[in-house]
Structure 1
């Protein structure tokens, strides 16, 4: 059974499309979804050739969501990438440089019914139309590295604090799953990926894009509620069982507190 990574916490793992020897390993790495990357990970002179994925490169009984990151609209490879995504039946397509709802509509019309779209917001133009993009896509993701280059700013938590908040709000207003935060380039230091993932969690993201299997567990752990928070949530649920007013740790339990407690327990179960 393939998990619906568009309705849950998700930690998609990128794999270069020119490394089919890594596809099955990525699917068995412990993450919930895998993105085969035709864009940044593949040199220009190989972009057409890598569309010929060997039949045995992917496990027939996979349980992960399989996505394809195509090249951006307007590039010479875009149309053929979309046709490849449709013909091979990927669960979803990752659209880089998503900037307009018209791009999303064009892509959706070219895909099979049921194939989903993960829109990467990674340009200033995309940020300017964030709300419309959230409504048009099935889920948003934040491309912080590309955006820092486009804006000419540093890729830091502080620099992108307002934009991270904006993308989370846009997804919420559109009734979409919480967006996915961008990648962390460090692959050998678990503390760095964990710190970035904690920041993503605090900002309200629903997961994080990953580029190496070493990043999976530190990222998941950062999103996993601490034991003391789980204990608190369980006390809140127990105290509210009869539907009346309740006090937990000296504080009144109202509807927003109850919702928070349920969210904590749901997240703990999802990441157990």
Structure 2
């Protein structure tokens, strides 16, 4: 189960090498925003060389936007690489962009990043575009620029929209977009707590110091795990609806939530909530 994703610029191979050993569950090598135009070809070639063999942790690559002059070459260079865990497609606005990427990469796992009002509005269509698509995520910096929102609260609706679209399409819960301030760990923790209540699972980071904060925020605490385990135990003893001594009512939906908490505490793939 991936809770922490760490971005590293594709044209700085020393940074990528460090990222692979700093405790992130997965690394995202970035060929897009973090790499200037003059370094795109070098970043692409260096990343392809890195992924010729399997790295110590799963590595995903964020390619350039579909309408950019580099997207086609990025996808062609990544196709068939042994060490590639998946491709993150930025600025997706239409299902056809996912289909085209899937055809060029030969079925590797794809993740669509929705970074505009149009992308968010089409979230469910995009989520169902192709079997190779494994997840959605928001690109919140670009989305805020598009929407004109300047606060965390302004992102509540698009965040909920992408969570609902992913669930409706049978995809895993999305991970949150990176938090831009690497120094304000308290604000990061609060933002992660908000994201968890909205249905996100894990978060991308832009600095290793953010990783333990994200992990703590998304792993349930001892009291939460204990309460969930009580529900699971009671349900096993009394199949069907039951009432715990403290008055909590247990049915199939309550049990599914409790099983998900227990699975998260063990860093297992969470149990899906009932339809």
TM-score (normalizing by structure 1): 0.90
SS at match of 1:205: coil
Contact 1:24–1:59 (8 Å) recurs in 2: no
Query: How is 1:196-211 mapped onto 2 (pairs within 5 angstroms)?
Result: 196-211=191-206
Contact 2:135–2:171 (8 Å) recurs in 1: yes
Match of 1:4 in 2: none
Residues 17-36 of structure 1 show CA distances to partners (whole Å, capped at 9, x for unaligned) of: 11101222211111111111
SS at match of 1:159: helix
From 67, 77, 85, the counterpart of 1:74? 67
Match of 1:153 in 2: 149
1:205 shift after superposition: 0.7
Match of 1:217 in 2: 212
Contact 1:117–1:139 (8 Å) recurs in 2: yes
Match of 1:31 in 2: 24
Task: Classify 1:64/1:54 alpha carbon distance in 2 versus 1 (closer, same or farther; 3 Å).
Answer: closer
1:152 shift after superposition: 2.1
Residues 119-155 of structure 1 show CA distances to partners (whole Å, capped at 9, x for unaligned) of: 100011101211111112210011111101112221x
Distance between the aligned counterparts of 1:40 and 1:108, measured in 2? 22
Distance between the aligned counterparts of 1:263 and 1:245, measured in 2? 18
1:226 aligns with 2:215: no
Q: Which runs of 5+ in 2 are unaligned?
A: 269-275
Task: Classify 1:259/1:51 alpha carbon distance in 2 versus 1 (closer, same or farther; 3 Å).
Answer: same
Contact 1:225–1:268 (8 Å) recurs in 2: yes
From 240, 261, 265, the counterpart of 1:264? 261
Task: Classify 1:168/1:48 alpha carbon distance in 2 versus 1 (closer, same or farther; 3 Å).
Answer: same
Match of 1:139 in 2: 135
TM-score (normalizing by structure 2): 0.89
Task: Classify 1:266/1:131 alpha carbon distance in 2 versus 1 (closer, same or farther; 3 Å).
Answer: same
Q: Which runs of 5+ in 1 are unaligned?
A: 1-7
Contact 2:48–2:81 (8 Å) recurs in 1: no
Match of 1:97 in 2: 91
Contact 2:61–2:88 (8 Å) recurs in 1: yes
Task: Classify 1:91/1:195 alpha carbon distance in 2 versus 1 (closer, same or farther; 3 Å).
Answer: same
1:56 shift after superposition: 7.9
Distance between the aligned counterparts of 1:146 and 1:117, measured in 2? 20
Match of 1:122 in 2: 115
From 163, 166, 169, the counterpart of 1:174? 169
Distance between the aligned counterparts of 1:57 and 1:9, measured in 2? 21
What CA RMSD, in Å, does the superposition of the two structures yield over aligned residues? 1.9
Task: Classify 1:27/1:58 alpha carbon distance in 2 versus 1 (closer, same or farther; 3 Å).
Answer: farther
Distance between the aligned counterparts of 1:148 and 1:160, measured in 2? 8
Task: Classify 1:119/1:253 alpha carbon distance in 2 versus 1 (closer, same or farther; 3 Å).
Answer: same
Distance between the aligned counterparts of 1:233 and 1:211, measured in 2? 32
Distance between the aligned counterparts of 1:203 and 1:54, measured in 2? 34
Distance between the aligned counterparts of 1:59 and 1:215, measured in 2? 29
1:37 shift after superposition: 0.4
